[in-house]
Amino acid sequence: MSMGASCCYAMLICYLPPLPAHPFAIKLTPLSRLQLDRRLALLAPGDAQDLATIEEIAHWDRIPLATSDRGFVACARSALSKLKSPALREILCWRLELRTLVAALRRRHRGLPVPAVSEIWGYGQCLDYIRRYWEQPDFNLSHLYPWVAAADQHLREGRHTALEHLLFATVWDRYTRLAWNHHFDFEAVVLYVLRWNLIDRLTRYDPAAATQRFNALLAGGLGRYDWAANCPSPSDKAKSFSR
């Protein structure tokens, strides 16, 4: 990174409001996505593309519903080949392995057989372990992924909220630890955005927080416009899904 880019990214980091110590500690994102994108305009074009690549792979809402496992793995491998930073490749590889382990847990919970060697369904070094130790709750991987056994127990006992809480906390803690080694570089910006996305997802899951967030965005966008007086009442019907 050039001296100019380093100074620019130090300024960008200083423009970003601090994130909480834990994602469950707040009910609203510290800034909106629009505000975040305005600050991210300081990124160099190549870095901006790398960030977009990571977000497209790391977040379910960026992936088309019709994407097959084979297609997603192909996209993930392509994305990894495009990233110039070893640190960013490590971040994305870890996220893909977590997703693979969760997919394996859910697959086993549904009573499906162990994936065939020829089947393309996941990513990472854990694939052989999963096949070899399919019957063990943690796939014999607790030494590398301490959360797997707890995730399996939550799934078997139907504690889906606890499972989501565990996965969010696991990802957040991982990103936070990595951020300790990056302060004013591009990797620090990426880790900030990834954690911001986690907070954004959490606030969308909380109905009260989502309403508060919507009202705040509405007030910021419309000022003193009387929404209630000038708009018809919305339908009570709502559509939601999780992936």
128-to-25, 114, 117, 179, 240 alpha-carbon distances in Å: 37, 11, 8, 30, 35
Q: Rounded to whole angstroms, how far apart are CA atoms 176 and 125?
A: 23
d(CA 161, CA 169): 12
Tens-place pLDDT, residues 107-151: 999 999 999 999 999 999 999 999 999 999 999 999 999 999 999
pLDDT of residue 238: 36
The model's pLDDT over 31-82, given as tens digits with 9 standing for 90+, comes to 999 999 999 999 999 999 999 999 999 987 777 777 888 999 999 999 999 9
**pLDDT tens track for 152-200:** 999 999 999 999 999 999 999 999 999 999 989 999 999 999 999 999 9
Which residues have a Cβ under 8 Å from the Cβ of 184 and sit 6 or more positions away? 6, 9, 10, 13
Q: How far apart are CA 150 and CA 160, in angstroms?
A: 12
Helix (H/G/I), strand (E/B), else coil: 19: coil
> Which whole-number Å values give the CA distances from 171 to 103, 112, 121, 161, 181, in the listed order?
16, 26, 21, 16, 16
**Contact indicator for 95, 72 with CB cutoff of 8 Å:** no
Find, among 134, 124, 63, 119, the residue nearest to 89 by Cα: 124
Domain boundaries, the chain: 3-221
